[in-house]
Structure 1
């Protein structure tokens, strides 16, 4: 299946500095693993060279004063420790760095390049691994996200194809709050976010009761998971709910935010998935896109702060898009590259693509009812989706 893959060496400009979790090394090592598996020379892949987004594209989502402030900061000669809380900028999540406006334009432009590729000439798949910046709000940065490339690409499509219906599916451990609020009153964008319960993690939102407003009521859906949720529990819920929502909504395009910070070894989240489980999640998406989503899938990256996990899982995602099977073990040359560039003594270097949660057996020994609690929680939400939320979704009128 022909797949567009967006890549540019300029992506390393989106760099909050040394020690920040969202390091450009994530993208560099993912790209090198894809290359090591010969995916980037696959006969069905099209390497797409992005152009920066235009200001008019940004202003469909973001406020003028925020954009002007970023343009001003863009001219700095060195990183700044100044704090601009009214814009969500400063030490912490979103430190100010030279060229930040240009870097954010590049990421947003990459997502626009991908959706154009999908919509033109009946292409069906595209992947922008630097995208997925789902926290940014119209007037401020948030959670490592300067511009919301997801919302920008959706608004771009709506401007070009006024009646298009888009389903946004977010599997990042953090709730896709920026995208949800931007389209909270829009029935032509259905948002469905699977994430760690907002009572336990940033941004603190994404509760089941957040279902949209006005004409968008019923088109915002959230499935908060308990910390520690493992493959079997997650997959059972995901496989039940996602196809039903797709079938009920019947979008023209599926936009997937494929954050992989749901992994049990992620340093800033508390979920319990393995890379094998994450691969199965994407397989469910892939299998159902032709059935219910006009066979159009645009995937962006997102969170994931264990670099070995990010590279392995996104490589498996791209392989699935191409219908390619990739096998164990990991290429030795890539593992060597990882060890040389990723100086993190707290993590064991991976040797296999597909791992399993090594902590499950220990947890079950300490608390025999631990998995029962996870299943009871997800079963309750599945029941609410099937009996209350999904029946309210309206199919398009043909």
Structure 2
């Protein structure tokens, strides 16, 4: 099965500057690891050069006034401390940088390129690791996201498809996929499902169980807010129970998935407890269910992840899963040399194994066996809510 992989050497355009968590090194070192494992040489992989988005395509989601402001700031040479709070731009999450409009349009274009690929009759899988900027709102930037490429790609698929087409958006980033949720909150042709760290403990503060759509979209916005520290076993158990049931109830024509990996226990800005081994199991569940429920049509997007070594390893695992190949330890020496040269000890400790385990969590379990019960109790409460209320509502509506 051929996989369309969106590849560009222009990945460093989207660059908020030194010290920002969303460093372009994430993409560069992921490419390096994929190359070191010869994934780009796989006969089932098709490397695709992305196009840029058009204004018309982006304006299907974003407001003209906001897009005009991004264009105005594209060639800015002024102070990096300049701020436009109305548009969510300025010091902090979304600092202004030269070429920001071009960079945002390029990311959207890469996701549109991935969408165009799966719209082809005989193409079923595509992956754009530069995408997944799920926080941007129609009229403003948010959480490192200037434009919401996920929403733009979803709307593009709907525009190019027959009436009645349905899309399921699955988001596994540690942060709630709020931008995509609110954009499609009153619609039933897009079902959003976000697994994330509880919004009471993490930006953007949303994604609670009772946020489940309005008007025509009532019941089609779904959230799974998990407690900080949730471990592989608890996460995978609830994921394996709910995702196939929701797919079966909704029967989407396409699955669009945001694959943020900041749920890893070592991520510097989140508090979840997954490992790269856990990520691989989650990826397998997703990939195994696409042929059953989504007409075998899948669009994968990148997303969060701020431990660079984790991003490279986990997204390489996902691409390998799509290609049906097995890769593993030891990590290639040439990639470790590249990692140390480009990122190195001054930024984060280099990884020592491809599929890691969360030993810190196991130690915590031994010291406090009741702690895991809290995680499981939360997961059980969520599953009960879904099985008794949310999933029956979708089935009734369909």
Q: How does 1:25-104 map to 2 (within 5 A)?
A: 25-77=25-77, 80-104=80-104
- Give CA-to-partner distance per residue, 1:332-376, whole Å, 9 cap, x none: 110111111114547431121100002013212332200011000
| Structure 1 position 121, deviation (Å) | 2.9
1:326 corresponds in structure 2 to 327
8 Å Cα contact 1:257/1:302 also seen in 2: yes
8 Å Cα contact 1:79/1:98 also seen in 2: no
C-alpha RMSD of matched pairs (Å)? 1.2
2:392 corresponds in structure 1 to 391
1:337 corresponds in structure 2 to 338
Q: In structure 2, how many angstroms separate the alpha carbons of the residues matched to 1:193 and 1:395?
A: 21
- Residue ranges of structure 1 left out of the alignment (5+ in a row): none
Q: In structure 1, how many angstroms separate the alpha carbons of the residues matched to 2:353 and 2:39?
A: 17
Q: In structure 1, how many angstroms separate the alpha carbons of the residues matched to 2:13 and 2:350?
A: 26
| Structure 1 position 328, deviation (Å) | 1.1
SS of 2:196's equivalent in the other structure is: strand
- Residue ranges of structure 2 left out of the alignment (5+ in a row): none
- Give CA-to-partner distance per residue, 1:35-65, whole Å, 9 cap, x none: 0001011100111111100000110000010
Gap change, CA 1:379 and 1:314, over 3 Å in 2: same
8 Å Cα contact 2:173/2:260 also seen in 1: yes
SS of 1:355's equivalent in the other structure is: coil
8 Å Cα contact 2:11/2:28 also seen in 1: no
Q: In structure 2, how many angstroms separate the alpha carbons of the residues matched to 1:186 and 1:232?
A: 33
Aligned length, in residue pairs: 397
| Structure 1 position 394, deviation (Å) | 3.8
SS of 2:329's equivalent in the other structure is: coil
| Structure 1 position 76, deviation (Å) | 1.3
SS of 1:393's equivalent in the other structure is: helix
Query: Does residue 206 of structure 2 align to residue 205 of structure 1?
Result: yes
| Structure 1 position 274, deviation (Å) | 0.3
Q: In structure 1, how many angstroms separate the alpha carbons of the residues matched to 2:18 and 2:395?
A: 47
Q: In structure 1, how many angstroms separate the alpha carbons of the residues matched to 2:344 and 2:101?
A: 29
- Give CA-to-partner distance per residue, 1:229-260, whole Å, 9 cap, x none: 00000000000000000000110110010000
1:276 corresponds in structure 2 to 277
SS of 1:354's equivalent in the other structure is: coil
8 Å Cα contact 1:249/1:396 also seen in 2: no
1:189 corresponds in structure 2 to 190
8 Å Cα contact 1:26/1:307 also seen in 2: yes
TM-score by length of 2: 0.98
SS of 1:193's equivalent in the other structure is: strand
SS of 2:10's equivalent in the other structure is: helix
2:300 corresponds in structure 1 to 299
2:146 corresponds in structure 1 to 146
Kindly report structure 1 stretches of 4+ aligned residues shifted beyond 3 Å. Answer: 343-347, 394-397
2:131 corresponds in structure 1 to 131
TM-score by length of 1: 0.98
Q: In structure 1, how many angstroms separate the alpha carbons of the residues matched to 2:74 and 2:330?
A: 43
8 Å Cα contact 2:344/2:350 also seen in 1: no
1:263 corresponds in structure 2 to 264
8 Å Cα contact 2:328/2:355 also seen in 1: no
